[in-house]
């Protein structure tokens, strides 16, 4: 890896000689400007508006034009003579808690490595101090003739540096946020949390791919091989959200279908919670009719009991009456038989 800057980290009277390396490298296929008819490369020429001549790069300077059209020409020598204390020094201004720095201010990312063996000890001391105190260092550094704020922090076993925007470079968001009158219901928040849990399960950042870059590579290969360009349908984004709860439930169901076999436990639990929330909302309006039905059922039960009691009493009375009549009849039949016996003797 090739270093792009060499200097020292300075905090107090301690100096740590370091080298700066780019921490990121953008991937992607680099395209050139070409003539669409024959594919010939297009070259841009530096032409002066005043004299109309093509200018060599060595004669290109920088300038600033004021409102009246006057231009101040600034040469490379002029820029080199400007005072720039942070040209070879990462000057530590303060050590602060990490949460005091808004990520919105961060831009480029760089690795810092000790320049030589003698720098290892102070380098390790600064690194371990930042780790134990859980702080970051706000610094200044000059890269490419421009001074910039920078954040010094620990990443694994390395010190890293992030260039930062100056406070006046952060634009005011104004009234871009939704109005304060917009509120979120508890059940909506619960379902959104379930969806977040579902989408966070088994997430692997390293497995993500740049689909546009892959498609661009396939397109270029097709042109080089004189094949038809591949076409893939792009999923359209939804125009608006009509039913937020329905959209959340559909999202949870969709994420659940994508779950790998054997790993659907937490995801299924999240879906159950979301479904219970939705069903609870739907069943709220049905609770009153349920009470009326229960009342009717109770009334029917009471009526049934009264009918059963009447029927039992009626049957009991009928049974007793029948028994009495039957007994009287049998007694009546037996009486004449006794009298007939006496006459015979």
Question: Would you tell me which CATH number, out of the four given (2.40.290.10, 3.40.50.300, 3.40.50.150, 3.30.70.380), belongs to the domain 1-23+83-171?
Answer: 2.40.290.10
Cβ atoms of 151 and 164 within 8 Å: the answer is: yes
Residue 120: which region, alpha, beta or left (left: phi > 0; alpha: psi -120 to 50)?
alpha
Give pLDDT tens digits along the chain (345 positions).
899 999 999 988 899 999 999 999 989 899 999 999 999 999 999 999 999 999 999 999 999 999 999 999 999 888 888 888 778 899 999 999 999 999 999 999 999 999 999 999 999 999 999 999 999 999 999 988 789 999 999 999 999 999 999 999 999 999 999 999 999 999 999 989 988 888 888 888 889 999 889 999 999 999 999 999 888 777 766 666 667 778 778 877 877 666 555 444 444 454 455 555 555 545 544 444 444 444 444 444 444 444 444 444 444 444 444 444 444 444 444 444 443 344 333
DSSP, collapsed to helix, strand or coil, labels residue 335 as helix
Exposed, middle or buried by CB within 10 Å (0-12, 13-18, 19+), for 337?
exposed
Residue ranges per domain, the chain? 1-23+83-171, 186-284
């Amino acid at each position: 890896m090739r270093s792009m800057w060499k200097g020292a980290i300075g905090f107090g009277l301690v100096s740590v000689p370091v080298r700066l390396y780019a921490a990121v490298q953008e991937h992607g296929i680099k395209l050139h400007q070409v003539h669409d008819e024959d594919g010939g490369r297009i070259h841009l020429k530096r032409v002066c508006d005043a004299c109309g001549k093509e200018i060599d790069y060595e004669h290109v300077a920088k300038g600033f034009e004021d409102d009246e059209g006057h231009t101040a020409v600034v040469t490379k020598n002029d820029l080199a003579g400007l005072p720039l204390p942070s040209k070879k020094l990462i000057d530590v201004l303060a050590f602060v808690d990490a949460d005091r720095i808004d990520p919105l201010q961060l831009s480029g990312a760089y690795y810092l490595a000790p320049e030589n063996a003698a720098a290892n000890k102070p380098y390790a001391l600064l690194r371990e101090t930042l780790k134990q105190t859980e702080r970051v260092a706000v610094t200044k550094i000059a890269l490419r003739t421009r001074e910039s704020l920078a954040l010094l922090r620990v990443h694994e076993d390395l010190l890293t540096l992030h260039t930062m925007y100056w406070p006046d470079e952060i634009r005011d968001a104004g009234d871009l946020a939704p109005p304060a009158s917009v509120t979120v219901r508890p059940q909506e928040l619960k379902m959104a949390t379930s969806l977040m849990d579902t989408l966070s399960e088994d997430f692997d950042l390293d497995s993500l791919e740049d689909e546009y870059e892959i498609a661009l590579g396939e397109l270029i290969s097709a042109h080089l091989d004189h094949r038809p360009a591949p076409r893939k349908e792009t999923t359209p984004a939804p125009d608006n959200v009509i039913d937020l709860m329905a959209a959340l439930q559909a999202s949870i169901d969709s994420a659940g279908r994508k779950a790998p076999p054997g790993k659907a436990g937490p995801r299924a639990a999240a879906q159950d919670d979301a479904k219970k929330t939705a069903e609870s909302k739907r069943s709220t309006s049905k609770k009153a009719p349920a009470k009326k039905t229960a009342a009717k059922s109770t009334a029917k039960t009471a009526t049934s009991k009264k009918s059963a009691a009447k029927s039992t009493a009626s049957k009991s009375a009928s049974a007793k009456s029948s028994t009495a009549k039957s007994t009287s009849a049998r007694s009546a039949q037996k009486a004449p038989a006794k009298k007939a016996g006496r006459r015979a003797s």
